[in-house]
Chain A
Amino acid sequence: MNNIVLRNIFRFVILLLIQIYVCNYVHFLGFINPYIYVLALLLLPLSIPKSLQYLIAFVTGLIVDIFAMTYGIHASASLTLIFLKPYVISWLTVGKNRDELTTIPIPGQKDFKWLLIYTFLMVFIHHFIVTMFELFTFRKFWLTLISVIGNSLFTTFIILCVQYIFTPTKKDYK
């Protein structure tokens, strides 16, 4: 238990540092700006109290906001992401036993297809909120949507790479 808490804190710190120092300065093709810290939120165990989850998400988003000078946008997006996370998981694992809902979505536990869909959906929700708040307009909506999808694909790609590279052995999580 203690191990998991420490592991999560460590993951949050590392991913936030990468986000703040590296990913905030990535402007690939002019519009792709990966938000890799989403991974920390995706891997947050569902077993911890929801209120605590929301607080963690809010604070995480706020930290990113402070460094990106966009106060509130990432906080709002992260909060929404955490709020929708259980619904997305239960929607994706329909027809299976309830135990699967509490498992952590990492490569060892889920197959690649599931992970891809799950990660992309969550990242898309997050990026969509961030981008819409940043632009704050519905003009050129479809162009915005395309750029959001592109950005989401890029972030998803990075997140899956990170997950497959750094996945611990099954034994650690049991």
Chain B
Amino acid sequence: MNNLAQFLRKNFHYLLFVILQIIAVILIYNTLNYPRFVISTFGKSVTGPFYEMRHFFTKHFNFEHENTILVQENLKLLREQESSFIFRSDSLLTEAELTKLNKRLRVYDYTYANVIHNTVHKKNNYLIIDKGASDGITYDMAVICSDGVVGVVNDVSEHYSSVISLLHSDSRISAKIYPSNQLGNIVWDEDDPEKANLLDISQHININVGDSVFTSGYSYVFPKNILIGTVCEKEVNSKSSFLTLKVKLSTNFSRLNTVYIVKNLYKSELDSLKSSFKNE
């Protein structure tokens, strides 16, 4: 014990040196931002892999919650799209009437649903989604997903709806091809769930393989400018005046999960106009 005390007394200055040096380093660390940043970055590079490992296992617990948040965000973005509105500034109304009305008139509203049943390889394919009349779904609403067009609502029950998929012999979607801006119709009549035919494009129109096909917006079921697919085959048919075009669909129908349902807010108005048109 005496020896220890003697040793300490003899070497006290070394201890003091170390202590003071530590104090200095602590001061440096506490007051200067850059060293703190460097040291904490170094610390994070050490602890990072551990957290990453933990995250690797725990991230799955949050997916459902994350997914709903993302779906809500997508809905918000879809609602704000330009194609969801009619801009009335170019109408026949006067300035005063325009300000009374909102200049921007919402035409399309969106909601989402989950696909609970889906077929791909039949001749006529249907989907069933988990939203129905109680959620405001009605006949003839468009169904899209983040990749592109899915189909049209066919039948509605209280909590579920059936959707005619694009992969159905009856489905017919008005389409526009870019950049030539020609109107055509998308029809599916074969067994390949990845491809559809684009009809009614005249032979003289210059179309290249790789051109994009969008919805035209003329049916008022689908909003404008939703991607349908890209042209993958072009054939000049000598018998008819139209081109035979095949479109690679952008939607992967075998992996549908969350879909968005498009509601046209002026559907009854348009329907009555159409019916009077037919009666004439």
**Does B35 count as interface, using CB distance less than 8 angstroms?**
yes
**B30, A79: Cβ atoms closer than 8 Å:** no
**Does B254 count as interface, using CB distance less than 8 angstroms?**
no
Given contacts A51-B16, A54-B13, A80-B21, contact A71 B27 (CB under 8 A): yes
Chain A 28-62 interface 0/1 with B at a Cβ cutoff of 8 Å (1 = within): 00000000000000000000011101110010011
**Does B20 count as interface, using CB distance less than 8 angstroms?**
yes
**B24, A72: Cβ atoms closer than 8 Å:** yes
Given contacts A55-B16, A55-B20, A83-B17, contact A75 B27 (CB under 8 A): yes
**B17, A79: Cβ atoms closer than 8 Å:** yes
**Does B53 count as interface, using CB distance less than 8 angstroms?**
no
What residues of chain A lie closer than 8 Å to B20, measured between beta carbons? Answer: 54-55, 58, 75, 79
Interface centre among B12, B20, B28 (most CB of A within 10 A): B20
What residues of chain A lie closer than 8 Å to B35, measured between beta carbons? Answer: 133, 136
Closest to A61 in B: B24
- CB of A72, distance to nearest CB on chain B (Å): 3
Closest to B15 in A: A51
Bound-complex Cα distance A53 to B31 (A)? 25
- CB of A132, distance to nearest CB on chain B (Å): 10
Given contacts A76-B21, A76-B24, contact A71 B16 (CB under 8 A): no
Bound-complex Cα distance A55 to B28 (A)? 18
Closest to A74 in B: B24
**Does B38 count as interface, using CB distance less than 8 angstroms?**
yes
- CB of A63, distance to nearest CB on chain B (Å): 13
- CB of B161, distance to nearest CB on chain A (Å): 62
**Does B34 count as interface, using CB distance less than 8 angstroms?**
yes
Interface residues of B in 19-63 (CB under 8 A from A): 20-21, 23-32, 34-35, 38
Closest to B39 in A: A136
What residues of chain B lie closer than 8 Å to A50, measured between beta carbons? Answer: 13, 16
Bound-complex Cα distance A61 to B34 (A)? 20
Main secondary structure of the interface of A (DSSP, over half): helix
* Number of A positions contacting B (CB below 8 A): 22
- CB of A99, distance to nearest CB on chain B (Å): 22
Q: Select which of A49, A70, A73 is within 8 A of B13 by beta carbon.
A: A49
Bound-complex Cα distance A137 to B32 (A)? 14
**B28, A72: Cβ atoms closer than 8 Å:** yes
Given contacts A50-B13, A55-B20, A79-B17, contact A70 B38 (CB under 8 A): no
**A76, B25: Cβ atoms closer than 8 Å:** yes
Bound-complex Cα distance A76 to B12 (A)? 18
Bound-complex Cα distance A58 to B19 (A)? 11
Bound-complex Cα distance A9 to B190 (A)? 100
**B31, A71: Cβ atoms closer than 8 Å:** yes
Bound-complex Cα distance A71 to B28 (A)? 6
- CB of B183, distance to nearest CB on chain A (Å): 61
User: What are the 7 A-B residue pairs with the smallest beta carbon separation, nearest first?
Assistant: A72-B27, A50-B13, A76-B24, A72-B28, A71-B31, A75-B24, A72-B24
List 7 extra interface pairs beyond A50-B13, A70-B28, A71-B30, CB under 8 A: A51-B13, A54-B13, A65-B27, A71-B28, A72-B27, A72-B32, A83-B17
